[in-house]
């Protein structure tokens, strides 16, 4: 059993304790944490008991299978197909009147709305209640990744400080910081967009 399978099993144990029948994972970080797959638009359906299902764009079905080692990967081309997959899983696991976890902060509003409208007896909770307690405990690989992230952030900070001068815009400073961090191996940055104001 690999690290991602172990994480899913741990999540299912927590779901059992909390009485959560399934999780629908849409947050990129949570999706990677449970699958090992890096994908911009992907969803993981994890039942309390049973095997997971991944839902991705049609073109990404085979790559997602290979990256995650999860055999049940379903593709979609339009929102109707996406919703049909979820409603099929709701029916398959009989969870229309059960407690279900969502990544509420990243889940498209229309998806939650359709779920609740179609399943008015369903109770929704935030997936973080299940996942964050186990994500607080880091393994050796995660600690190495955190150190690398801190080193990249340090290079970004140094680059931004070197760019600050009268007349420079926030965008210019942020661009230099992001460039330095990406050169150091970061695949994204976690600071908010800036408005382009000049530094006086």
* Among the ranges given (54-63, 99-108, 127-136, 187-196), the one the predictor scored with the smallest mean pLDDT: 187-196
Q: What is the DSSP string of 98-151?
A: SEEEE-TTTS-HHHHHHHHHH-TT-EEEETHHHHHHHHTS--HHHHHHHHHHHH
* Whether residue 8 has pLDDT greater than 50: yes
Q: What is the DSSP string of 37-52?
A: ---SSEEEEEESSS--
Output the six-digit token pair for 30: 């949570």
Output the six-digit token pair for 93: 């696991």
- Residue 43: domain span: 3-135
Distance CA 68, CA 8 (A): 12
Distance CA 178, CA 191 (A): 10
Tokens 């172990």 locate to 6
Structure confidence at residue 83 (pLDDT): 87
Do 127 and 66 share a domain, yes or no? yes
Structure confidence at residue 3 (pLDDT): 93
Do 176 and 199 share a domain, yes or no? yes
At residue 1 the predicted structure's pLDDT band, cuts being 50, 70 and 90, is low
Do 80 and 172 share a domain, yes or no? no
Please, are residues 152 and 179 in contact by the beta-carbon 8 Å criterion?
no
Q: Domain of 26: which CATH number?
A: 3.40.350.10
* Whether residue 96 has pLDDT greater than 70: yes
Do 111 and 122 share a domain, yes or no? yes
Structure confidence at residue 191 (pLDDT): 60
How large a percentage of the chain has pLDDT more than 90? 66
The total number of structural domains in the chain stands at 2
Most confidently modeled range among 12-21, 75-84, 97-106, 138-147: 12-21
Structure confidence at residue 31 (pLDDT): 95
Do 129 and 146 share a domain, yes or no? no
Output the six-digit token pair for 109: 């509003």
List C-alpha distances in Å: 167 to 160, 164, 191.
Answer: 14, 9, 22
Assessment of whether the complete model's pTM goes beyond 0.85? no
Most confidently modeled range among 27-31, 71-75, 103-107: 71-75
Please, are residues 96 and 86 in contact by the beta-carbon 8 Å criterion?
no
* Whether residue 22 has pLDDT greater than 80: yes
List C-alpha distances in Å: 2 to 29, 70, 79.
Answer: 18, 12, 33
């Amino acid at each position: 059993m690999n690290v991602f399978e172990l994480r899913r099993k741990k999540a299912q144990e927590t779901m059992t304790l909390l009485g959560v029948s399934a999780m629908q994972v849409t947050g990129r970080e949570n999706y990677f944490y449970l699958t090992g797959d890096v994908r911009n638009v992907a969803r993981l359906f994890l039942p309390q008991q049973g095997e997971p299902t991944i839902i991705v764009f049609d073109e990404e079905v085979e790559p997602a299978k290979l990256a995650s080692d999860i055999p049940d990967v379903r593709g979609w081309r339009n929102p109707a197909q996406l919703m049909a997959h979820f409603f099929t899983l709701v029916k398959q696991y009989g969870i229309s009147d059960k407690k279900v976890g969502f990544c509420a902060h990243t889940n498209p509003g229309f998806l939650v709305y359709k779920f609740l409208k179609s399943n008015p007896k369903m109770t929704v909770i935030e997936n973080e209640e299940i996942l964050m307690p186990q994500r607080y405990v880091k393994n050796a690989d995660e600690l190495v990744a955190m150190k690398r992230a801190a080193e990249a952030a340090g290079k970004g900070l140094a680059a931004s400080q070197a760019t600050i001068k009268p007349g420079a815009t926030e965008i210019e400073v942020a661009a230099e910081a992001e460039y330095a961090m990406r050169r150091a191996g970061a695949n994204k940055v976690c600071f908010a967009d800036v408005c382009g104001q000049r530094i006086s």
